[in-house]
Amino acid sequence: MRLSDVLRETTGVRLVRDASISGVTYDSRAVKPGFLFVAIPGTELDGREFIPDAAGRGASAVVTESDGVPEGVAPGMGFAAVPDARRALSQASNLFYGEPSRSLLVVGVTGTKGKTTVCHLVKSVLDACGEKTGLIGTVHNIVGDEERPVQRTTPESTDLDSLMRDMVDLGSTAVVMEVSSHALALQRVEDILFDVAVFTNIGRDHLDFHKTMEGYASAKRHLFEMLKKSAGKGRGGPVAAINADDPYAGFFTGGTSAHVVTYGLSHEAQVRAVDAALDRNGTVFTLSFAGRPEQVRLPLPGRFNMYNAMAAASVAFGLGKDPALIAAGLRAAKRVRGRVEVVQGPGQYSVWVDYAHTPESLRDILVLAREMTGSRVIAVFGCGGDRDSGKRPVMGKIAGDMADFTIVTDDNPRTEDEDRILDQIEAGLKEGKGASAFMRIKDRKQAIAEAIGRAGPGDIVVLAGKGHETYQQFKDRTVHFDDVEEAQSAMRSKSERQQEALG
């Protein structure tokens, strides 16, 4: 394929020299001989600085934003200047990989919380309905029967197209993917033909990037505006599945011309859950599809997971799938790593690991823990550095109000001062009802051990914020860290001490 071929849909191109290309990348370290390197001017790093590195690795062509030919582009290399390198990357990768989204039923899930679980539930439901469904998400990517590691919630456009190309080649008929607000704002998904868009909810998150809630919500609504590009591969064209109970429901409904399917607990919703019974092992409820009832036993606890199930059901219902098969798909669903994950170990108390890293998600997991025990709820959490600092005192107050005891600790401090982050959380904690019932332990390993050491019969220890993550990011290093592993170790140590005390 030639450079001119992959840029044929890009407007404002100034093609200086054409060239044959054998791959597309935005990362100079991933360049192989014959690759096109798209140099993106970023806010922290300018990709144009890495053109010499890409050339040295054998790049055959460069595309970037430039008035002239940048330094590092050798006389024999292909080169094109474009007005928007990010947009050009999306269009070039889409064409290079043969527009794979045209060959798949594509479901995009966006919202502040629930995206990961909804994606796994959608996969289970669509598979039960006869599709062979791939998944692109936070915990892992599923391509055919293979699980692949991930680097970010929504990969860059080249990675997306490569994943979907592999899915098509392996016989997949559908894909469900998490679509972050960053991905939408940075045009990573601009050339994906979405057939279904799902809105879960809106809460405070990523305001360091979007600045305002309006900007954040507008970025997510763009997914629904993009549905007009697709003819839709279901019954009646593209589908928008929208949480009718969320205050932003009307904002998202007004942003699409697709067929809207609403879900929720309100009587106006087309897909509703009624007669719910919750316990630690899951949720039993009746799912009503525009009046047609189907019984569901969902192996995921919590009211919020009932919403996640309704979201997944709305996708398939909007596509014209059989409600009986939809319910069967929900019943067959499996738990998702780092989402209300119960840590197995000795003791008469429970330890949960959950990704809750926003005020709303922390409140949800603590409410669930409170509902599931008559004993104490012990919370361990921190907040990520270099991210929205305004949510830190809010989350502190939530923990102070809802947990019986809280330990504030490091999450991923990144380049920020750890004590500054904990100070901001602590300020909110001191406003909560549990103002005197907390500790501050920066070392997360020690914090987890302390919480588990304090747990008594019937207590629930909630380790919030990191979920499926297996690392911790500091200013000068990234280290292996897994909340589940640390909890298991602390539980074993506590059990051994108790056995020794008994003689």
Q: 28-75: per-residue pLDDT in tens? A: 999 999 999 999 998 678 999 999 999 999 999 999 999 999 999 999
- Give the three-state DSSP class for 391: helix
Q: What is the DSSP letter of 28?
A: G
Residue 440 φ then ψ, to 5°: -125, 110
The CATH classification of domain 341-501, taken from the options 3.40.109.40, 3.30.70.20, 3.90.190.20, 3.50.50.60: 3.90.190.20
Architecture category of domain 100-331 in CATH? 3-Layer(aba) Sandwich (3.40)
The Cα–Cα gap between 444 and 462 comes to 13
User: Could you tell me if 294 and 324 are in contact, meaning their C-beta atoms sit under 8 angstroms apart?
Assistant: yes
User: Could you tell me if 352 and 369 are in contact, meaning their C-beta atoms sit under 8 angstroms apart?
Assistant: yes
Q: Which two tokens stand for residue 318?
A: 């909007």
Q: Which two tokens stand for residue 11?
A: 């407007």
The Cα–Cα gap between 139 and 336 comes to 8
Q: What is the DSSP string of 350-388?
A: EEEEE---SHHHHHHHHHHHHHH-SS-EEEEE---TTS-
Reduced 3-state DSSP string for 55-73: HHCCCCEEEECCCCCCCCC
Q: How far is CA 355 from the centre of its chain?
A: 10
Neighbour tally for 367: CB within 10 Å: 16
Name the β-bridge partners of 285. 296
Of the chain, the end-to-end C-alpha distance in Å amounts to 74
Q: What is the DSSP string of 135-179?
A: EE-SS-EEETTEEE--SSSS--HHHHHHHHHHHHHTT--EEEEE-
**H or E element that contains 249:** helix 249-253
The Cα–Cα gap between 443 and 130 comes to 48
Domain coordinates in residue numbering, the chain: 3-88, 100-331, 341-501
The Cα–Cα gap between 220 and 206 comes to 12
**pLDDT tens digits for 203-222?**
855 555 545 878 888 989 99
The Cα–Cα gap between 503 and 497 comes to 10
User: Could you tell me if 308 and 269 are in contact, meaning their C-beta atoms sit under 8 angstroms apart?
Assistant: no
User: Could you tell me if 351 and 345 are in contact, meaning their C-beta atoms sit under 8 angstroms apart?
Assistant: yes
pTM attached to this predicted model: 0.88
Question: 123-147: buried (b, 16+ CB within 10 Å) or exposed (e) per residue?
Answer: bbbbbbbebbbbbbbbbbbbbeeee
> β-strand 174-178 against 196-199: which pairing, if any?
unpaired
The Cα–Cα gap between 216 and 388 comes to 12
**H or E element that contains 52:** helix 51-56
User: Could you tell me if 179 and 136 are in contact, meaning their C-beta atoms sit under 8 angstroms apart?
Assistant: no
The Cα–Cα gap between 211 and 205 comes to 10
3-88 in CATH: which number? 3.40.1390.10
Per-residue pLDDT of the chain (503 residues; tens, 9 = 90+): 999 999 999 999 999 999 999 999 999 999 999 999 999 998 678 999 999 999 999 999 999 999 999 999 999 999 999 999 999 999 999 999 999 999 999 999 999 889 999 999 999 999 999 999 999 998 899 999 999 988 655 678 999 999 999 999 999 999 999 998 888 988 899 999 999 999 999 985 555 554 587 888 898 999 999 998 876 665 568 999 999 999 999 999 998 999 999 999 999 999 999 999 988 888 999 999 999 999 999 999 989 999 999 999 999 999 999 999 999 999 999 999 999 999 988 889 999 999 999 999 999 999 999 999 999 999 999 999 999 899 999 999 999 999 999 999 999 999 999 999 999 999 999 987 766 799 999 999 999 999 999 999 999 999 999 999 999 999 999 999 999 999 999 999 999 998 888 86
Characterise 234 by phi-psi region: left (phi > 0), alpha (psi -120 to 50), beta (else): beta
Closest among 14, 34, 12 to 25, alpha carbons compared = 34
